[in-house]
Structure 1
Amino acid sequence: MVGVKRKLTLFMVMTLILSLFIVGCSNTTSENKGKDDNGDNGQGSSETVEITWWTFPNFQALDGELGKYEKQIIEAFNKKHPEIKVNLEMISFEGGPEKLNLAIASNTSPDMIYDAPGRIIDWAKKDLLMPLNDMFPKEVMDDISPALMKQSMVGDDVYMYPFNTGPFMMAVNKTIFEEIGELDLLPLDRPDRTWTVDEYEKALLAVKEKAPDVIPSGFYAKSVAGDQGTRGYITNLGGSRFLNEDYSEVAINSPGGVKGLEWVVEASKKGLVAPGSASLAASDHNDLFLQGKMAFAINYSAVLKSLFAPDKTVEFEDILLPYPTPDGSDPKLEPFLGGMAVFNNDDDKKAEAAKKLIDFIVNDPEWGKKNLIQTGGLSARNSITGVYEGSEYEYSELARKFITDPPTIADGYAEIRTFWFPALQEAILGTKTAQEALDNFAEKANEAIKKGKEK
């Protein structure tokens, strides 16, 4: 009897094992149905990779909703890469930089960021990013100007994929000059629109006299945001450079740089500059212009013109202009450059997934051009032109010839920029002369460059 029970038990165990084996084979066959030999379903790996994409509002908002367009990009991307889940987080230009610093400090960095060289290259120098060299075959490198690639690299390694660009310059409310009958004071009849500081000052005086309710021009010195506008303005007003040509030390405390800052100080005293500019932020300056309360904005570009369009509270025509120079010679314009980078979060699969998203945003046959237009910028590629219609975009393309090397790639730049606005405040408030303020800035900035080289 005992033997029979043992045989029965053994039979039941064997039956159970056999049934589990059959179920297992059935599931395996079902899971592999339609896959190729590599376990791929023809749309990428079946294993889901989850990445986080942080971005400033680099694309124009759809229906006034930030992030709506970015979500459309992700939806289109997932049709080609369903195996990659993208978590989007929108960050603001005001609080975003600090949020990024906190994320880096706490080892919770996003996998991908869409930003500008000022921060991206600083992170690269701190070994926080993944190199993107494998995304840059020779035909791509040759299609991007050396000035833009220089902003995207540290040594021989590429850390930012350049996407949209355009020279930073000024803008004027053309409508105001039409209303006061002084349109001929603007250099709009010149193909390159170059002009002198004296011509610019005459235009400002005309606004002050004939449109007393309008502030002639703007300036700001409250925080680091928009520092490129104040740099470009002052260096061109005095015919100077911000740093010397090899980025080894500050050049803005030269006679030309001092002359440029002195002009701003004197113009403030004459009422040609927005009052209280020492306590205005770049966003305050922008608001004055977009509200039609100020004739000239000193920090503009084709990209910003497009992004600012929904924020206009009155209708007027904003026209791009280069910064004036003492003798009307060609200005030196820093390039706006937006691009994407991948943080090194010690996960190769996430890094590769992030690179696929970058490639889709920039190079997809359908979405690449669509995404570029949504930024309002020109393409970083020399071969991609004529994307837009309209005189201002045509002028922005022409003004590319004025692009110069920006100081953002200098060693220690992240620290350098923190000393810049206090120096401007000191000069505007009169606590130091322009020379004293710039010499003090140079001393601190040169030390930051030195420390940056030693790291």
Structure 2
Amino acid sequence: MRGSKKGSVLLVIMALVLSLFLAACSQDTAKESEGGKDTDKNPSNEKQVEITWWNFPNFQALDGEVGKYEKEIIAAFNEKNPDIKVKLEMLTFEGGPEKLNVAIATNTAPDMIYDAPGRIIDWGKKGLLAPLNDMMPDDVKNDISPALMKQSMVGDQVYMYPFNTGPFMMAVNKTLFEDIGELDLLPLDRPDRTWTVAEYEKALHAVKEKAPGIIPSGFYAKSVAGDQGTRGYITNLGTSRFLNEDYSAVAINSESGIKGLEWVVQASRDGLVAPGAASLDAGDHNDLFLQGKMAFAINYSAVLKSLFAPNKTEDFEDVLLPYPTPDGSDPKLEPFLGGLAVFNNDDDKKAEAAKKLVDFIVNDPEWGEKNLIQTGGLSARNSVTGLYEGSEYEYSELARKFITDPPTIADGYAEVRTFWFPELQEAILETKSAKEALDEFAEKSNAAIEKAKAANK
């Protein structure tokens, strides 16, 4: 009887195990038939690599919604890379830099960012980024101008994948000059549009006299945003460099640099510059121009022209002009450069996934060119031209020949730029002479450069 009972229990257990096994098999079969286990395009969280992409509004907003275009990029990327989940976070130009500083300080940096060399190269020097050399073979690097590659590297390490570019310069309200009958004062009939400071002054006085309700030109000295505009303006007005050729010291406190800033101070006295420039930031300056209240803007490019277009509240034609120089010689224009970088967060899988997203954004056969056009910029690649129609893009392509090496790759530049605007304010308010302001800027900046060079060794 005992043997019979044991046999019965054993049979029951075997039947239960068999039924559980068959149920599991039927569930697996159902999943596979629905595109699950082996063919599921949405892998389980265990299989997915999740990365974060922080982005400033580098792409034109789609349907007026910031971040909507980026979401379309991610959706298209996931069609080809279903095993990578991308979490997007949009930054503002006002609060984004500080948010990045906090994230880096607390070890919560994103995996990928689309930004500019000023911050990216500083992070590269501090060892915060993953090198991108494996993504940039010689044929790619050789298709990018040395000035742009120089901004993308620290030593022989590539830390930023260059994407969109365009020289920074000025813009003018062409419609205004047509209305006051002074269009011939602008150098638009010259192929390279170069002009002298004296010619520029004549155009400013024409606005003051014939359109008294319009501010002739702009300037700003409230915060670090848009510092390239004030740098380019002053260095060309005086034919000076901002830093010396090896980036080891400030050069703008030279006699020619001082003359450039003195011109701005005098123009402010003469009512040729927006009043209260010491308390205006780059955004305030842009708004005055886009509202048709100011004739010249000092911080423009083909990229910004495109990005600013939705913000224009007056219907006028804005055209690009190089900064004037004392003798009308070729200007030195800093290049706008946007590019993508990958943070080194001690996770190889995330770094490789982020590199795939970088490659998709820049090089995908369908989306690469589409993404570039959405920035409104020229390609960083010399071989990619003719993406747009219109004289202003043609001129921007031509003005590439004026591109010079920017100071943004100097050791300690992130700190150097913080000293610039306070000294500009002092000069504009005339609490210091132009020489005193630039000498103090040089003293503080040279110390910061030396300190950073020592720390980066």
Compute the TM-score of the two structures, normalised by the length of structure 1.
0.95
The answer (yes or no) to whether the contact 1:182–1:206 under 8 Å persists in 2 is: yes
Q: Which residue of 2 aligns with 1:120?
A: 120
User: Equivalent residue for 1:310?
Assistant: 310
User: What letter matches 1:145 in structure 2?
Assistant: S
User: Aligned letter for 2:121?
Assistant: I
Q: CA deviation at 1:138?
A: 1.3
Partner of 2:139: 139
The CA deviation at 1:7 is: 2.5
Q: CA deviation at 1:358?
A: 1.1
Within-5 A mapping of 1:178-189 = 178-189=178-189
> Aligned-pair distance for 1:99?
1.1
Identify the residue that residue 103 of structure 2 maps to in structure 1.
103
The residue type paired with residue 300 of structure 2 is Y
How much does 1:34 deviate?
12
Percent identity at matched positions?
Answer: 80
CA distance in 2, matches of 1:299, 1:308: 12
CA distance in 2, matches of 1:335, 1:192: 17
- Deviation of 1:31 after TM superposition, in Å, equals 7.0
Pick which of 40-49 and 397-406 moved more: 40-49
Report whether the alignment pairs 1:11 with 2:11. Answer: yes
**Contact 1:43–1:80 at 8 Å: present in 2 too?**
no
Distance (Å, rounded) in 2 between the aligned partners of 1:144 and 1:279: 38
Alignment match, 2:162? 162
Aligned to 1:346: 346
Matches within 5 A, 1:10-409: 10-20=10-20, 47-409=47-409
Q: Secondary structure at the match of 1:389?
A: coil
**Structure 1 contact 161–341 (Cα < 8 Å) conserved:** yes
Separation in 2 of the partners of 1:367 and 1:169?
29
In the alignment, which residue of structure 2 is the partner of 1:441?
441
Residue 13 (structure 1) shift: 3.3
1:345 Cα deviation from its structure 2 partner: 1.6
Residues 222-257 of structure 1: CA distance to partner in whole angstroms, max 9, x if unpaired?
Answer: 000000000000000000000000000000100111
Cα drift, residue 23 of structure 1: 5.6
Distance 1:349 1:41 in 2: 22
SS at structure 2 position matched to 1:86: strand
Aligned equivalents of 2:280 and 2:171: distance in 1?
18
Task: State the Cα distance separating 1:6 from its structure 2 match.
Answer: 2.3
- With over 3 angstroms needed to count, the CA separation of the structure-2 counterparts of 1:390 and 1:425, relative to structure 1, is same
Which deviates the most, 189-198 or 351-360? Answer: 351-360
Task: Tell me: CA distance 1:34–1:133, structure 2 relative to 1, closer, same or farther (3 Å).
Answer: farther
Deviates more, 1:353-362 or 1:247-256: 353-362
Q: CA deviation at 1:100?
A: 1.1
Given that 1:249 and 1:449 are in contact with CA atoms closer than 8 Å, whether structure 2 keeps it comes out as yes
CA distance in 1, matches of 2:149, 2:419: 27
Give the residue type in structure 1 aligned to 2:422: P
Distance 1:21 1:40 in 2: 20
The equivalent residue for 1:431 is 431
Write the deviation string for residues 384-403 of structure 1: whole angstroms up to 9, x where unpaired: 00000000000000000000
Once the two structures are TM-superposed, the CA of residue 367 in structure 1 deviates from its matched residue by: 1.0
For 2:363 and 2:93, the matched residues in 1 are separated by 26
Q: Name the stretch that deviates more: 199-208 or 42-51.
A: 42-51
Superposed CA offset, 1:88-146 (max 9, x none) = 11111011111111111222211111111111111111111111111101111111111
The C-alpha deviation readout for 1:280-315, integer Å capped at 9, x for no partner, is: 000000000000000000000000000000000000
- 1:19 is displaced (CA, Å) by 4.8
Q: What RMSD in Å do the two structures reach over aligned CA positions? A: 1.9
What amino acid is the match of 2:394? E
Q: How many angstroms does 1:26 deviate by? A: 6.4
Structure 1 position 43, deviation (Å): 7.7
The 3-state SS of whatever aligns with 1:422 is helix
Residue 9 of structure 1: CA displacement?
A: 2.7
In structure 2, what is the Cα distance between the partners aligned to 1:65 and 1:159?
30
Cα 1:175–1:135 change in 2 (3 A) is same
Letter in 1 for 2:453: K
- What is the DSSP-based 3-state SS (H/G/I as helix, E as strand, rest coil) of the residue aligned with 2:441? helix
Cα distance in 2 for residues equivalent to 1:252 and 1:306: 31
SS in 1 for 2:89: strand
Q: Distance in 2 between matches of 1:162 and 1:20?
A: 57
| 1:250 match: secondary structure | coil
**SS of equivalent residue, structure 2 residue 6:** helix
Contact preservation (8 Å) 1:44, 1:81: no
Instruction: Give 1:334 shift.
Output: 0.3
Deviations 1:297-338 (A, max 9, x none): 000000000000000000000010000011111000000000
In 2 relative to 1, CA 14–371 (structure 1 residues): closer, same or farther, beyond 3 Å? same
Secondary structure of 2:150's partner? Answer: helix
Q: TM-score, normalised by structure 2?
A: 0.95
Q: Deviation string for 1:185-236 (max 9, x for gaps)?
A: 1111110000111111111011001110000000000000000000000000
Secondary structure, in 3 states, of the residue corresponding to 2:272?
Answer: coil
Is contact 1:238–1:257 with CA below 8 Å preserved after alignment? yes
Aligned counterparts of 2:328 and 2:12: Cα–Cα separation in 1: 97
Q: Secondary structure at the match of 1:221?
A: coil
Aligned residues: 452
**CA-CA distance at 1:258 after TM superposition:** 0.4
| Structure 1 unaligned regions, length at least 5 | none
AA aligned to 1:153 is M
Corresponding residue for 1:413?
Answer: 413
CA deviation map 1:354-373 (0-9, x unaligned): 11111111111111111111
